[in-house]
Structure 1
Amino acid sequence: MALSYKARRKLALLILVIGLPLYILLTLGVIGWANDTWWPGPQDRMPFWLELVVFIGTGLIWALPCRSIFRGIGQADPDAPPPR
């Protein structure tokens, strides 16, 4: 079942305001856990290139499933009556 334009707008706002900050905190927690668990030593963190790969990967992981929700949100409501 396809969501209406208004439902997609509300869902997109909910995802951006609540879901994305929670996802960012989860990603930072996983990076911190990985740094503590797998990279104990003098540097105490994973290499920069690996952190970059993880952040780019997690940035794509949340965006790809939500692509259909965000598509067309910035356009005018297609179901609205035409203006006079």
Structure 2
Amino acid sequence: MALSYKARRRLAALILLVGLPVYIVVAITVVSLFDRPPILLELLIYVVLGLLWALPFKFVFLGVGQADPEDDA
């Protein structure tokens, strides 16, 4: 079952306002469990983790910034 446009907008907002900060805290916690790697490796780890969080939610964010397709006016 496909999500409606309004449901996708609400879910996207929830993911960005709640899920992303939680993911950031978890990523920093996991990286800090190990000895601090060299700065370039640490940067690479954060870039990869920053891209990985969005992959499962790609379908939610598609078209959210566009006008409502069901809106007539």
> Which band: TM-score by shorter chain?
over 0.9
Q: CA deviation at 1:63?
A: 1.1
Pairwise CA distance, 1:5: 0.3
TM-score normalised by the chain length of structure 2: 0.93
What RMSD in Å do the two structures reach over aligned CA positions?
A: 0.9
Q: Which runs of 5+ in 2 are unaligned?
A: none
Q: 5+ residue gaps in structure 1?
A: 36-44
* Structure 1 residue aligned with 2:40: 49
Given the alignment of the two structures, is residue 68 of structure 1 paired with residue 59 of structure 2, yes or no? yes
Which secondary structure does the structure 1 equivalent of 2:34 belong to? helix
How far off its partner does 1:67 sit?
1.3
Greater CA radius of gyration, 1 or 2?
1
Letter in 1 for 2:6: K
Residues in 1 aligned to 2:62 and 2:51: alpha-carbon distance in whole angstroms: 15
Encode CA deviations 1:30-76: one digit per residue, 9 max, x unaligned: 111122xxxxxxxxx21112101110110111111111111111111
Q: Distance in 2 between matches of 1:47 and 1:64?
A: 27
State the match for 2:12 in structure 1: 12
Identity of aligned residues (%): 52
Q: How many residues align?
A: 73
Residue in 2 aligned with 1:27? Answer: 27
Taking structure 1 as the reference length, the TM-score comes to 0.81
* TM superposition shift of 1:79: 1.4
